[in-house]
Each structure stands twice: as structure tokens, then as C-alpha cells.
Amino acid sequence: MIPSDGRVRLQITRPVDRMLLDRVRRAARLTYFALRTPALLALGLFRHRERRPPAPSRVSRVLVIRTDRIGDMALTTPALGELRAHFRKAEITVLAPPAPLELLREHPAVDHLVPLQGNRLPPDLVGHFDLVIDFTPDEALRGALLARASNARLRVGFRAAGRQACFSLRGARAERRRHIVDLNRDLLDSLGVAATSVRPELYVSAEERGAAQAGLASRGAAAPRVAVHPGGHYPSQRWSPERFAELITSLTERCGAACIVVAGPDEQGLARRVCDATPDALPAGALSIRQLMALLASCDLFVGNNSGPLHVAAALGVPTVSVMGPSDPLRFAPRGPADRVVRRELPCSPCQRARCWHHTCLRSVETDEVLDQAEAALLMRLPRTEAR
């Protein structure tokens, strides 16, 4: 309606900023780091410092700390192998939450596994180690404080937001756009550990593999077998379950693939959505970490988002096709010759955000794009290390 005075008035309403809360949280986090850093560095002035990396003969007991998730542990396995090759006579103990720790049950580079419960170092680990290594690749303090509580003379970890005050050796800087495997290599460089491995490696026993294959056979899952994982730690990392269902239908029709849907304890709802949308999906049901590993090792291909199971599959030698949205492929993408990434290059990606109001980076990835990569992976038959 034109007002009585004949003048046209244009009213502009600004849209609601749906990311306002996230912006506030990010600003608060950066402020916290800015205040924390000088305080920690000041405290660190009084710590004991070692000027040179230790000689292997000085180290008989090593503690490796990982406080995060299963994907991070899988990406740490090259470093474990290099530690074993360098400190040949040392016992290597890994301290981690129970789920990631399960990945290492058959790993030849590890002597002892200690589950981490809460934020306190188990009392029997205090004063027990010559060298403690915290592989946390960011500003989080949990691993650094655990390393400090160990009372080990030699302690090393990444430098970020003052957390280096907890260490006695100068570690590498936690670069944000560097692959996790390469970051771990940087940290080992500060210890004088030579590079011997670049590929994550996990292992399953013959008994575990046999049980998984028998279970798949009982469901009629003949080769080629494709493990499909619709989950991811953050909602922003998850491609649509309906798209996964479309992919399963197409792979079944065009390649004769048996598609097994795997999910973590908190992802069963996602798995049900996929299975409800297509009769071709085979639900894996509830699996322990070791059962998941054995199932993945029995498959010919893994398709999923950036997640722990993706990195577990790659470390088992299984070809992968991953759909990446906000995750940075420079930091997280599997790098084997049979690993493929499908993503949309956008001005806002990779943003690494846990939430997003438009989700364009994943919404714009079409089913046919992922299908083409999955078919190519199944048909190409690239030479690969047999799943261990």
C-alpha cells in the first residue's frame, strides 16, 4: 500500500542470524585461550626443561596419551610403530578412553593398554615412566595435564595456547591445516625419532575375522560387501540418511553389492532411517569395537562420512569413499591409493563447525557422485594390503 503522502517507503528486515550462538561461543573460546596462554606460560617458566631429545638407551618405559576418539587413535598408529622402531628395548603403554583403546588389542607396537576413566591419571602410573608423549593436536589441556601428573622427567606434546608449559621437551606447533599423521610425525621429529611409516595400521585376529565372515554369510551377504556408515561425531558431518539409502539401492542393483549398515551406540536411529528407506540395506546391529573392526576387515569397500569407522577401515587396508562437508580433507582424509573423497568446494568450507544452518556443503553432494566413486572403487580392484 502506498501511503497517503504518495511517498514509497522501503522497509528492510535483517534475517535472523542463526549462527549467532555459535559466534558467541567461538568468541568466548578465543578469549579464554587469549587469557589462558600467558598465565600458563608464566607458570611454565619454573618447570624443568630438557634441551636435547633422549637417547634410546635412556628410555625403558614410554607412556602414550590419547584422550579423544577412535578415529584419532587409528591415525596415531603410524607414530606407535615408529616409537617401537626407535625405542627398541622400551615398554610402550597407551593411556586412552576404553573405546579407542580397544583398537590396539592386537597391535604389535604396544605392550600395555590402560583405560582412562575421568580426568585423573591412574595412581599406579605416577612416577613409572621415563618418557610421556601427549598426541593431542589442539589446545585441549586434558592430555597435557595427565602428562604433567605423571612426574616423568621427559614429557612432550604439541605447543598450543600455553599447554606446552606442562612439558619438559619442546614439541611441535599444532598446525591447524596439517594432516594428523603428519602432525604426529612432527612431534616425533622433536624426539629424534626417524620416519619409518606413513600408513595407519590396525589388526584383527583370525578368530575375529572368521566370526565376522560367518555372521555376514548367515545374512546372505556375499561379495562384494560394502560397509555403509551414515554417522559422524557432529551432525554437520553427516550426509543425509536418505541419500545413503539411495546409494545402497543403486549399488545393489548395479554391482550386486551386499551393503551392511554399521552404526555406533548413539547412531542406531540413523541406521534405522537408512534401513527403513530401502529393503536392500542389511543392518549390522549393535557391535563392539572389535566386532566392528572384524566386520570392516571382511568388506571390500567402506562408504561413509568423516568419522572414526572411516579411519578404522582405512587402517585395516579397506578401500574407502568418504563424503566430507565441514571437515578439512588436508587434515583428516585417508591417503591410501584406494581412498577417495567426495566433497563440494565452497567459500565457507572447510569450516570445521559442529553445527550449520544451511549445510550446503553436504546437501549439494548428489547420490550419483558418491555412486560413481563407489563403483570405480569396486571395479578398479586396486592392489591393496590385505585387511589385517
pLDDT per position in the chain (388 positions), as tens? 556 666 766 666 655 556 777 788 889 989 999 999 999 999 888 888 888 899 999 999 999 999 999 999 999 999 999 999 999 999 999 999 999 999 999 999 999 999 999 899 999 999 999 999 999 999 999 999 999 999 999 999 999 999 999 999 999 999 988 999 999 999 999 999 988 877 999 999 999 999 999 999 998 888 899 999 999 988 888 999 999 999 999 999 999 999 999 999 889 999 999 999 999 999 999 999 999 999 999 999 999 999 999 999 999 999 999 999 888 888 999 998 899 999 988 777 787 776 776 777 888 899 999 999 999 999 875 444 555 5
The C-alpha atoms of residue 308 and residue 342 are separated, in whole angstroms, by 17
What pTM did the predictor assign?
0.90
DSSP-assigned letter for residue 165: G
Cis peptide before 224 (omega within 30 of 0): yes
Full strand arrangement of the beta sheet holding 320-324: 281-283, 258-261, 225-229, 301-305, 320-324, 339-343
Strands of 198-338, DSSP E? 225-229, 258-261, 281-283, 301-305, 320-324
Closest to 374 (Cα-Cα) out of 301, 286, 279, 280 = 301
**Dihedral pair phi/psi, residue 189, rounded to 5°:** -60, -35
Q: How far is CA 208 from CA 39, 75, 101, 105, in A?
A: 50, 22, 17, 12
Neighbouring C-alpha atoms within 13 Å toward the C-beta of 77: 24
Cell 578401500 found at: 319
DSSP-assigned letter for residue 106: T
